[in-house]
């Protein structure tokens, strides 16, 4: 690997993100064109590796939860269905990867296709008590519920 400063690397990375060709990037950053081309190739290879890793299904112990993101305080309804909030589904392989997906709503019809497409049958799936997760067992998963409100 080449030894360039972090500042120069960030400059090259910015040019890569803006789709500036290697020759122009070399001129802008005062780095040899071959070095810039090697960095661009390494970045492309990393992007491909990440895409391959992302497409692999989750297997093992998987935690699933949904959450709502948006303005901190919204007058009116709280929790599910609060206006101005965006529902997001998250999958987390214990000691591993994370997958997030913005969903239209957190209904069973919306969540199940995502779960079935991302989690291998037979995996242990840990969820909260939300009713949309009913049916995971019938779809071939080992379903475990974690009840947060128990005190």
Strands 61-69 and 124-127, bridge-based pairing: parallel
Q: Which residue has the tokens 């709502």?
A: 68
| Full strand arrangement of the beta sheet holding 124-127 | 98-102, 86-93, 61-69, 124-127, 142-145
Find, among 58, 4, 63, the residue nearest to 31 by Cα: 4
Does the pTM surpass 0.85? The reply is: no
Same domain for 65 and 42: no
Residue 76 located in a structural domain? no
pLDDT over 70 at 2, yes or no? no
Could you report the per-residue pLDDT of 33-63, keeping only the tens digit for each? 999 999 999 999 988 887 777 778 898 999 9
Co-location of 65 and 121 in the same domain: yes
In a domain, 105, yes or no: yes
pLDDT in tens, 69-85: 877 665 666 665 566 78
């Amino acid at each position: 690997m080449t030894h360039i400063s972090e500042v120069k690397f960030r400059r090259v990375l910015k040019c890569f993100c803006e789709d500036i060709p290697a020759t122009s990037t070399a001129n802008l950053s005062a780095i040899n064109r071959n070095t810039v081309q090697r960095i661009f190739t390494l970045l492309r290879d990393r992007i491909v590796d990440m895409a391959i890793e992302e497409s692999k299904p989750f297997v093992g112990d998987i935690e699933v939860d949904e959450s709502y993101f948006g303005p901190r305080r919204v007058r009116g309804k709280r929790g599910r269905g609060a206006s101005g909030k965006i529902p997001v589904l998250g999958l987390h392989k214990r000691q591993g990867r994370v997958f997030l997906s913005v969903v239209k709503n957190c209904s069973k019809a919306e969540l199940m296709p995502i779960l079935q497409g991302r989690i291998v049958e037979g995996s242990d799936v840990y969820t909260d008590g939300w009713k949309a997760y009913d049916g995971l067992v019938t779809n071939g998963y080992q379903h475990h519920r974690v009840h947060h409100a128990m005190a």
